Amino acid sequence: MNLPASEVRSAPAAKERRIPKHLAEEWRGRTYVYLCVLIMIVTIFSIVYFIASRGLAPFISHGVSVSEMMFGLEWRPDGEPAVFGALPFLFGSFSTSLLAAVIAAPLGLCASLFMTEIMPKLGKTVLQPGIELLAGIPSVVYGFVGLSVIVPFLRDVFPGLGVGVLAGSLVLSIMILPTVTTVSTDALRSLPRGLKEGSMALGATRWQTISRIILPTLLPSLLTGVVLGIARAFGEALAVQMVIGNAPHIPHSLFESAATLTSIITLSMGNTTSGSLHNNALWSLALMLLLMTFVFVFVVRMLERRVKR
Amino acid sequence: MKKSLVLLLTVVFAISLAACGNNTNNNAGSANTSSPSPSASESAAPSESATPSAEPLSGSVIASGSSALQPLAQAAADKFMADDQYKGVSVQIQGGGSGTGLSQVSDGQVQIGNSDVFAEEKLDADKAKELVDHKVAVIAMAAVAHKDVGVDNLTQQQLVDIFTGKVTNWKDVGGTDAKIVLVNRPSSSGTRATFEKYALGIKTEDLPGSIQEDASGTVKKLVSETPGAIGYLALSYLDESIIALKYEGVEPTTDNVKTNTYPVWAYEHMYTKGEPDAAAKAFLDYMMSPEIQQKDVVENGYIPTSDMKIERDAAGTVTNK
């Protein structure tokens, strides 16, 4: 409301200084955007630098070898001498997130097919908001539900303690369902109409159209959703920590206590003093997580390039 | 459209700047309140407890660290700030774990570092030397087990056998035929350090198949629900859903802890770097006052240090008071 008045007042002032208003505007906008981008870049680089400087310390100043950290089977930070083998955590992280993707991918895919191809109206009004709601639930709630529902269920039905890789992946699969579903729904909606109509016109049934035309065409986009889901599952800490058991060993079954990179970090970070070898070893785990994230971003980029082709 | 977007972004930016500005304002404000008579407040600070109403205290105290001590510290901080006498002082209690508390107070990021263990056990000797220990309470813990294990007493040797994996079935320690499930704490935990030092006498390793959880609530839930589970909890967490095991025949009760008959306990420490400043000192004094010690400490399941009949140092040497 006040805007026009102030513009009128500021216009002559601008003329006096010989700076046209549109240029001043241009300059303001550009400065603001550059400032934001600068802050973002500085933040990202300082985070990477900070994690790397702490995470590389065990290798540089404490004589822990990289191969021991990557492939060692024992994690005894308090032992004499301390042993840092992170393979059980790498195994735990990969097994839980991949298993979660195996569970969530078909569910998410079918949900998005249902929402776009089968019942678009119901899908858009009921199912999609419902699934997106899942993304808004805090992870501690997922963890607590997992601990109160999934763990006792698995304990009663299967041999073992209930906690373990399977409990972790079940919780994670629900958490990544919105990611998988949203990405594949967007992909399905962006499909050119002609492709589908052409197939229908040739006399293909709906199932034939979906399985032979739509899915092969969109495979890279759908995989993007799954990879993003795996990335999310890989980085999730709290919910997994509550249900996986956190024993630093490679489990022999799906129902035996295991640990992930993230769960061991959240469990021990607060109890160790900064600068100690144990604390720095946890930063090394964080560095591994960061590198894995880069790999996931890279894979997503590759898939996106295939989509564009 | 573009203009409104720029406007919106500017507003967001301005608000975030204002939020930053607020902080500095606050600091400036608290500095101002103390500036009228800087020399007077400085000279009064040491004898502050003798004449509490003479000089209005101000400043802010941040305490971080041990999550076991956090509820008590928070309760004390709430009462402290509600007290008219300390109106100008704001006390913030943060969690994060004993290690975080000790490193932050040692680096000077916070005024008080809360810890379940002696600083000497976590920090380098020269860093630990700079810290001043204030023992604000005693916390005792008991070995707890699932209801159906059929055992209510374990000796030290039996506990060692269980936590090192030598004994894997309850029937070997006189209970029912059930597999033992360890619900342990992470190896860096202060609670585990206390339990290993005073109940087991040795350091143990994480066994395959054992469960490690940091939060007492989670440990209690798992022990009460998992058949054959054993873990350990602070006395304030004990109730009907689990059995508290006797240690060498001694029941884990407050009275037994006071005389050290039941040895599995630890001090809760509030560390300051050097001597505390006036505001932090006022809070620590308040923490040790009967108002907190006899009420909140007891209500939250801790034991007042003044009630202890004995004293124990970092090395574990016990002396009579």
> What is the C-alpha to C-alpha distance for residues B276 and B293, in angstroms, rounded to an integer?
20
> What are B253-298's pLDDT values in tens digits?
988 999 889 999 999 999 999 888 888 888 999 889 888 888 888 8
Quick one: pLDDT at residue B2? 54
* Residue A224: exposure state from Cβ atoms within 10 A (0-12, 13-18, ≥19): buried
Which residues are within 8 A (CB) of A119 and not within 5 positions of it... i.e. 6 or more apart?
none
Quick one: pLDDT at residue A12? 52
Among chain A residues, the shortest Cα distance to B115 is held by A271
Quick one: pLDDT at residue B121? 83
Quick one: pLDDT at residue A171? 94
Asked if A72 is an interface residue toward chain B (Cβ–Cβ < 8 A), one would say: no
Tokens of A108: 């998410």
Give the residue from A75, A242, A271, A283 with the most B CB atoms within 10 Å of its CB, the best one to mutate: A271
Q: For the domain made up of B59-138+263-320, give the CATH fold.
A: D-Maltodextrin-Binding Protein; domain 2 (3.40.190)
Quick one: pLDDT at residue A303? 86
Asked if A257 is an interface residue toward chain B (Cβ–Cβ < 8 A), one would say: yes
Residue B38 distance to chain A (closest CA, Å): 36
Query: Kindly report the CA angle at B268 between B139 and B305, in degrees rounded to 5?
Result: 70
CB pairs < 8 Å spanning A and B = 115
Quick one: pLDDT at residue B43? 39
Which residues are within 8 A (CB) of A224 and not within 5 positions of it... i.e. 6 or more apart?
A183, A187, A300, A303, A304, A307
* Maximum alpha-carbon separation in chain B: 79
- Report chain B residues whose CB lies below 8 A from the CB of A161: 181, 209, 211, 226
> Are A259 and B212 a contacting pair at CB < 8 A?
yes
Among chain A residues, the shortest Cα distance to B107 is held by A274
> What is the C-alpha to C-alpha distance for residues B96 and B70, in angstroms, rounded to an integer?
9
Pairing of strands B88-96, B58-65: parallel
CATH 3.40.190.10: which residues of chain B? Answer: 59-138+263-320, 140-258
> What is the C-alpha to C-alpha distance for residues A78 and B188, in angstroms, rounded to an integer?
8
pLDDT of chain B, 321 residues: tens digit per residue: 455 555 555 555 555 444 443 433 333 333 333 333 333 333 334 444 444 445 667 788 999 988 888 888 998 999 888 888 888 888 989 888 888 899 999 988 899 999 988 888 888 888 888 899 999 999 999 999 999 998 889 999 999 999 998 999 999 998 899 899 999 998 888 888 889 989 998 888 888 888 988 888 889 999 999 889 999 998 888 888 999 999 999 999 988 999 889 999 999 999 999 888 888 888 999 889 888 888 888 888 899 988 888 888 887 788 887
Residue A266 distance to chain B (closest CA, Å): 9
> Are A271 and B103 a contacting pair at CB < 8 A?
no
CATH number for the domain whose boundaries are B140-258: 3.40.190.10
> What are A180-236's pLDDT values in tens digits?
999 999 999 888 888 888 998 999 998 999 889 888 888 888 999 999 999 999 999
Q: Which residues of B touch A (CB under 8 A)?
A: 2-3, 6, 9-10, 13, 67, 95-100, 102-103, 106-107, 122-123, 181, 186-190, 203, 205-214, 218, 221-222, 225-226
What is the residue type of B301? G
> What is the C-alpha to C-alpha distance for residues A87 and A285, in angstroms, rounded to an integer?
10
What is the residue type of A160? G
> What is the C-alpha to C-alpha distance for residues B101 and B122, in angstroms, rounded to an integer?
11
> What are A24-33's pLDDT values in tens digits?
889 999 999 9
> What are A6-60's pLDDT values in tens digits?
444 555 554 556 788 888 889 999 999 999 999 999 999 999 999 999 999 888 8
Tokens of A159: 């041999």
- Report chain A residues whose CB lies below 8 A from the CB of B190: 271
Among chain B residues, the shortest Cα distance to A77 is held by B187
Asked if A278 is an interface residue toward chain B (Cβ–Cβ < 8 A), one would say: yes
> Are B210 and A76 a contacting pair at CB < 8 A?
no
Quick one: pLDDT at residue A288? 92
Place of tokens 């205290």: B57
The phi-psi region of residue B3 (left if phi > 0; otherwise alpha if psi is between -120 and 50; otherwise beta) is alpha
CA dihedral A188, A224, A258, A57 (to 10 degrees): -150
Q: With bands split at pLDDT 50, 70 and 90, how would you rate the model's confidence at A61?
A: confident
Minimal Cβ distance to B213: which of A148, A246, A276 = A246
- Cross-strand pairs, B154: B247
- Report chain B residues whose CB lies below 8 A from the CB of A276: 99, 122
Quick one: pLDDT at residue A153? 92
Quick one: pLDDT at residue B158? 92
Tokens of A291: 């590198």
> What is the C-alpha to C-alpha distance for residues A295 and A292, in angstroms, rounded to an integer?
5
